[in-house]
Amino acid sequence: MSEIYDVVIIGSGPAGLAAGLYAARAKMKTLILEKNKAGGQIVTTNEVANYPGSIENATGPSLIARMVKQAEEFGAQRKKDNVVEVDFSEKIKKVKGEKEEYKAKAVIIATGATPRKLGVPGEAELTGKGVSYCATCDADFFTGLEVFVIGGGDSAVEEAIYLTKFARKVTIVHRRDELRAAKSIQEKAFKNDKIEFIWNTTVKEIKGEGIVESIVLENLKTGEITEYKAKEEDGTFGVFPFIGYIPLSEIFKGKVQMDERGYIITDVDMKTNVEGVYAAGDVRQKTLRQVVTAVADGAIAAVQAEKYIEKVFNE
């Protein structure tokens, strides 16, 4: 008979690791499944300045390393396996990986979300070196510099407004001739003296040797190509694409309730519409996607899973 875990956690970013820590600390038999390496999006962040208590030049990788160590010290197991299928129809849940199948009394989904990429040359190479997908995380690095925000929806314009607190100048680059953001947000942006707009334009390339040095733009109406270079005294500028996120939830379609964008719907206790199945972190429907909210989600999910198991299996 195959082993039955109390909790199987799918994903090992901050939400999954926090869930693992809390579950294992509660003496539950806990397994964290990770597709690649632990950490999720945060491991691409050079400095984590807004996580409470992250001092002494904390980096994304160093913060994750401490989380991993904590979870393991309390007894959480970690396995590297890519989950390809789940079955939540029975009391004992089944999680099928490429390597083996796992059984659990409760499952916590913490697979995260990934920023939608521009898909242009230089973007991947310069991510974390001038290209960022999180203004809240990285705005401070661009204090006094110029920044380009790519996109025209609510998040793009809101992040552009936020970036004006730090940057000398913020230029919104949008592929259409008008913003898609809510009118109230647009009004704030248009009134902000630090924000400029480039319309009907897309990014063709991001250039730089180890750091962003220029951005190549194409006007969709005229076909004109323009290269904006960092001012000599600055040496660099920021590029913030905000064209949406993609929740990593494909394998859970039809298994738990989702919104139209693919985010898993939970209540405040991280419960999905399936008993014994929880979601935590960026994969669930929420308003703020940050490390601090991810770890809170993970902790709540683990505590609720413990209560569920105690009620359903131990009474």
pLDDT 10s digits, 176-231? 999 999 899 999 999 999 999 999 999 999 999 999 999 999 999 999 999 999 99
Is residue 15 within 8 Å of residue 110, measured between CB atoms?
A: yes
134, 177, 267, 282: the active-site residue:
134
Query: Which positions ≥6 away from 97 have C-beta within 8 Å?
Result: 33, 79, 81, 82, 83, 84
Pairing of strands 225-229, 238-241: unpaired
6, 81, 138, 282: the active-site residue:
138
According to CATH, the superfamily of the domain at 4-115+245-312 is FAD/NAD(P)-binding domain (3.50.50.60)
Q: Which long-range contacts (CB under 8 A, 24 or more apart) does 305-311 make?
A: 305/6, 305/7, 305/19, 305/23, 305/28, 305/106, 305/108, 305/276, 305/278, 306/23, 306/26, 306/28, 308/105, 308/106, 308/275, 308/276, 309/6, 309/7, 309/28, 309/105, 309/106, 309/276
Query: Which positions ≥6 away from 35 have C-beta within 8 Å?
Result: 11, 80, 81, 82, 83
pLDDT interval class at 120 (50, 70, 90): very high
Residue 10 has pLDDT above 80, yes or no: yes
Can 177 be counted among the known catalytic residues? no
Angular region, 14: left φ>0, alpha ψ -120 to 50, beta rest: alpha
Q: Distance between CA atoms of 161 and 189, rounded to whole angstroms?
A: 6
pLDDT top residue among 207 and 287:
207
What's the pTM value of the predicted model, to 2 decimals?
0.79
Q: Distance between CA atoms of 112 and 98, rounded to whole angstroms?
A: 19
Can 137 be counted among the known catalytic residues? yes
Instruction: Write the burial class of residue 228 (CB in 10 Å: 0-12 exposed, 13-18 middle, 19+ buried).
Output: middle
81, 137, 282, 297: the active-site residue:
137
Q: Do domains 4-115+245-312 and 135-241 have the same CATH topology?
A: yes
pLDDT 10s digits, 34-60? 987 776 766 656 567 678 886 666 777
Architecture of domain 135-241: 3-Layer(bba) Sandwich (3.50)
Can 267 be counted among the known catalytic residues? no
Token output for 10: 């799918």
pLDDT 10s digits, 64-78? 889 999 999 999 999
Q: Distance between CA atoms of 86 and 40, rounded to whole angstroms?
A: 21
**pLDDT at residue 46, as a whole number:** 58
Residue 270 has pLDDT above 90, yes or no: yes
Looking at the chain, which runs of residues are DSSP E strands? 4-10, 30-34, 77-80, 83-87, 93-97, 101-109, 113-115, 146-150, 169-173, 195-198, 201-207, 214-219, 225-229, 238-241, 245-247, 277-279
Q: Distance between CA atoms of 78 and 65, rounded to whole angstroms?
A: 13
pLDDT interval class at 22 (50, 70, 90): very high
**pLDDT at residue 56, as a whole number:** 66
The ranges assigned to domains in the chain are: 4-115+245-312, 135-241
* Arithmetic mean of pLDDT over the chain: 93
Query: Per DSSP, what are the bridge partners of residue 94?
Result: 87, 103
